[in-house]
Structure 1
Amino acid sequence: MEDVFIRSISLDGNEHVNINEVLLIVRQRPPNWLFRRPDFDPRLLKLDALTLKSYYHSKGFLDVMVDESSTIDEGYADIFYKITEGKQYFVSEVEVVGQQAVSPEKIKTLLGLTEKKPYNPVRVNDKLYLVENEYHEIGKLFFNINIQDEVTDSVKVIIQVAEGKKIYVNKTYLKDMGLIDSSLVLRELTYKPESLYRKSTMDETEKRLREMGVFSMANIIPVQVADSDSLVNIVIEFRRFKQREWNSTGGYDPIRFAEGAEPLPALSGTIEWKNRSLFNYPTHLSTKLLAGVPMEEELILPRIRYDVSIGSNWILGVRFPTSLTGYYETFIDYYTEELETISRYGVNLSQMIRFGNRSYFETNSVWESFSDQSDQNLQQRSIAFKINLDKKDGPLYTRKGYLISIMLKSAGY
């Protein structure tokens, strides 16, 4: 079958949506500066028509009809959309029934419902999870919400809420956690028996369990107690990483053989051994060996680096994530005639405390020693403190909030 390319897209009957809006949402687009010969796929044509229909629904055109068609001439396709927009419906009234713990204004805001604005059922469905999160945060785990819209010349939206009782935590059960002592897992929980069920608390617990580095998955499931309408048991299902593993890589890659120097093509290999739960305790140990030999003429002396790293989230009964790395490496100073070998070894201690989603306090202490063929060694010590306060409403598309990052560092020889 010969290739068919898109030549054009035409709209008929679109009074409230222009072609530029359509090109942003459909998959089949005409040529532009980036895609000079876009392929035509008839299977995507129907999907684009449904996408365009949903877009009209989001603008309040509930009765819209979209008919798609295409013609192919000498390997080029022309796409046509015939649109019957119909009436645009606006919200005349929003009635919230049955709510007590959350105000009607809050529910309207979360769902994006505003009187005298176009009715957007697509957004309402997409935002239901925000109302759910709001109720789960105050312990209303088994609430129910039902949304009805009465469409006449305008739309009256009726939101029926059945809040239910506040839910409290009864017991916690751990499944498939392996040989790790249950007390080491239970200390990561941010809730206690008989405490109110809160979504933020459960999310924080789930994050702390994954930060142990032992489990690839920690799934928290609330299960209602049979003889109670206000208690749940928390079942946490785990999926473990492989406890011990070997990793090795090798090939012809550029390697930096001296600090600040340009990478050189080299034949290199890396081998690493990891133990994610040393002695069945959530302490991580890894060792890594790197060796590289430059392949350019007369550069035959290898570079060797060896690392040993150990880390844990708890130190002396306090949750203070800490990592200690020791390293030894040799590299060549190619800027001297005799190609001096320089050895460097040292210790790096890093600690971090997180508060909030993206805010943290971090410390980093380094001691290292340099030695060459002379009798004099050079030692360097440094300590750094960093605080990062991230109160933006989104890491990528920020509309409000602030970011403050402060770093203090002291170094000496």
Structure 2
Amino acid sequence: MTKYELTLAGRLTFRLISLVTILFLLGGGVQAKSNLKVSRITFEGNKQISEKELLSILKSQKNKEFNPRFIKLDEILIRNYYQLHGFLDVQVRGTFTRNGNDINITYQINEGRRYYLKEIRFTGNELLSEEQLRKSIHLDDNAVFEQQKIDEGLNTIENYYLNHGKPYVFFNQNKVITDDSLITLNIFIQEGVTVRIAEIVFIGVEQVKRFLLFREMEIKEGDLYSREKIEISQKNLYATGLFKAVNYGVVPLPNDPSRVKLVWNLVEKKPIWMGVRFGVSYENGEYTGNVTTFDVTLEGGHRNLFGTARSISFHVVPSFYFGKTVNESRRKFSNPRNEYSLTYIEPRIFGTRTPGIFNISTSRESPPITREEIKILSTSFQVNHKFQNAWSYTGLLSFQKVSTPSDSILNVVSQGRDLIYALSLNPVKDKRDNILVPQHGYLMEFRNRFVYSESPAREDGKRITIHNTFYKFIVQWARYQPFTFKRKWTLASRLRFGGIIEVDGRNPIQKIPITERFYLGGASTIRGYQEQAIGGRDSQDLPLGGKYVLLMNAELRIPLIWILMGELFVDSGNLWQEFSDISHFSLKVSSGLGLAILTPFGPIRFDYGVKWFPETVDGKRESRDEFHIGISFAF
């Protein structure tokens, strides 16, 4: 083993031992709180429900710290579980004994009789037939009696009444037991009068035009009372961004309970505003390899031009980055971007609740956000519509001028003064339970971008213009689910594939604008590699990027203590210049572990990744590992 390899192995071993030790100590911190452990949990009297089933619902766990308060909670959990399975008269009593630091817990259960549903009878119903009502309760006759399913069915029935003009509906249940274990459930429905909205009144409005308020109403004067439509109207008013508070009340008209006044109490926001925000920006990985920056936003504007909810705003955003850049071997703070933008928002396009956003901005960007220092002038018009089924559709028409500080770059690459015209269509389905710390659900994205670009270059000492038309696509799927063997852990996975298809035939990668290429490597794509390090380098020793990208990630997220979470991950992927190159299929693979601190603005990550197959390029061996710091999870 060479001296270099010994040094590398020593550094790798030290980093791994240090990070594993930290995770071990943090993971073991909870258990240091108490010496009392639950040694054994036993059940007495359970005949119809197995011990395995009961253990799975308890708060108390074997070989875990003993908490006497959990015994009362477990009694309730066991009682509820039995009652869900038809044992309505069950009795549970929990006790414990101590032997040194070992605690033995015993739950004595008197199961009682198991009850079954004989039939359900409805009286007082006029709006819905008995057959319609019965279909709403998903519990068959002669099945084990489950009060939870009864309540769920009644909630469904109540919602129907409340959304069809019956705000005063009332239900009463009565159980009649026959043959010792058969229950006949009698449900009496007092429907009340049918109610219509006679008048809609707004209180507290000074700046906003009245037509705008009525435009946001899903429910209209003369409509049947509908709680669902009223709540949608409330949501629409909040979505305008004009109000601090939106509350409503229903007032019956004197001597006529069938007609009500819908009264909205609104608190307006000040139309002119200024502010400072601190946050993070997660750069889209399709261009930059997913770079996280710390942002300071100085902003101001008018949110209610002419009282019509149209808005205009100005933003100044300096961004800061800590880590390695393309040409730096050490981590340091840098200011890779300063952006100035003006935004105008038209709240409704084509008469629908689809905002149109016009933006003009200028920015200076440098590594690691881009592969070299550039200036960008952009104008765009964007429309975005969200549907209730978690789908959203974004359309974007944009123009972008990308320039470098000096014409000298034209001698070595074909970029330097790019003009980029693009049309983007991006359907997204987001079913994640939480954007910052997802534990359930998935994110599905189909990004489509049609691009025409003009790039000046030099050929045989002459200045020429390169024209290129191409279609760029990205398909991405990310899933979040409980880990099979430890349900409190989260297994996160991601698959991304993207490509650039040129209309005029294949061209060298240098003829694709640098802002449109794919890049890989770094804290949020393939850890263990430096930012944008995958895919080769050009004659200026800058990342070359690629036309096709494949990225696969799997990560296990483990709650440790308080706001700390551990990570175990495997990342893989690669870049290719042409589609035919994929036939020589090979992947860059890394794995590692990390620690995340959960904060209100997202997790702060400290990740350590190790390459599986480090390579030697031009006689220089790749570093075997990399340490990363990032804001938000990798995906």
Q: TM-score, normalised by structure 2?
A: 0.55
Aligned CA distance change for structure 1 residues 303 and 137 (closer, same or farther; 3 Å): closer
Q: How does 1:238-317 map to 2 (within 5 A)?
A: 238-240=266-268, 244-249=273-278, 260=288, 263=291, 269-273=296-300, 275-278=302-305, 280-292=307-319, 303-315=337-349
1:221 aligns with 2:255: no
Structure 1: give runs of 5+ residues left out of the alignment.
Answer: 32-37
1:158 aligns with 2:190: no
Q: How does 1:320-331 map to 2 (within 5 A)?
A: 320-331=354-365
3-state SS of paired residue (2:54): helix
Aligned CA distance change for structure 1 residues 9 and 309 (closer, same or farther; 3 Å): farther
Aligned CA distance change for structure 1 residues 179 and 27 (closer, same or farther; 3 Å): farther
Rounded to whole Å, the distance in 2 between the matches of 1:292 and 1:362 is 25
Name the counterpart of 2:533.
Answer: none
1:112 aligns with 2:138: yes
Q: Once superposed, what is the RMSD of the aligned Cα atoms? A: 3.8
Q: Which amino acid aligns with 1:193?
A: E
Q: Is the 8 A contact 1:137 1:198 kept in 2?
A: yes
Q: How does 1:99-248 map to 2 (within 5 A)?
A: 99-152=125-178, 153=180, 154-177=182-205, 179-240=207-268, 244-248=273-277
3-state SS of paired residue (2:136): helix
Rounded to whole Å, the distance in 1 between the matches of 2:346 and 2:155 is 35
User: What do residues 52-95 of structure 1 show as CA deviations (whole Å, max 9, x unaligned)?
Assistant: 11111111101111011112332332221111101100011211
Structure 2: give runs of 5+ residues left out of the alignment.
Answer: 1-32, 323-327, 411-415, 432-438, 454-635
Matched residues, number: 394
Q: Is the 8 A contact 1:331 1:342 kept in 2?
A: yes
Give 1:261 shift. Answer: 5.9
Aligned equivalent of 2:75, options 43, 49, 70: 49
3-state SS of paired residue (1:246): strand
User: What do residues 37-63 of structure 1 show as CA deviations (whole Å, max 9, x unaligned)?
Assistant: x33221231122012111111111011
Give 1:245 shift. Answer: 4.4
Name the counterpart of 2:66.
Answer: 40
Q: Which moved more, 1:128-137 or 1:290-299?
A: 290-299
Q: Is the 8 A contact 1:150 1:157 kept in 2?
A: yes
Name the counterpart of 2:59.
Answer: 27
Give 1:4 shift. Answer: 2.6
Q: Which amino acid aligns with 1:6?
A: V
Rounded to whole Å, the distance in 1 between the matches of 2:303 and 2:155 is 36
1:385 aligns with 2:414: no
Q: Is the 8 A contact 2:336 2:369 kept in 1?
A: no
3-state SS of paired residue (2:106): strand
Q: Is the 8 A contact 1:353 1:362 kept in 2?
A: yes
Aligned CA distance change for structure 1 residues 389 and 137 (closer, same or farther; 3 Å): farther
Q: How does 1:84-99 map to 2 (within 5 A)?
A: 84-99=110-125
Rounded to whole Å, the distance in 1 between the matches of 2:369 and 2:84 is 66
Aligned equivalent of 1:364, options 396, 399, 406: 396
Q: TM-score, normalised by structure 1?
A: 0.81
Q: Which amino acid aligns with 1:384?
A: S
Rounded to whole Å, the distance in 2 between the matches of 1:352 and 1:20 is 50
Rounded to whole Å, the distance in 2 between the matches of 1:210 and 1:122 is 34
Give 1:361 shift. Answer: 4.5
Aligned CA distance change for structure 1 residues 26 and 175 (closer, same or farther; 3 Å): farther
3-state SS of paired residue (1:247): strand
Aligned CA distance change for structure 1 residues 42 and 177 (closer, same or farther; 3 Å): farther
Give 1:239 shift. Answer: 4.7
Name the counterpart of 2:96.
Answer: 70
3-state SS of paired residue (1:320): coil
1:12 aligns with 2:51: no
Q: Which amino acid aligns with 2:258?
A: S
Rounded to whole Å, the distance in 1 between the matches of 2:36 and 2:121 is 52
Name the counterpart of 2:603.
Answer: none
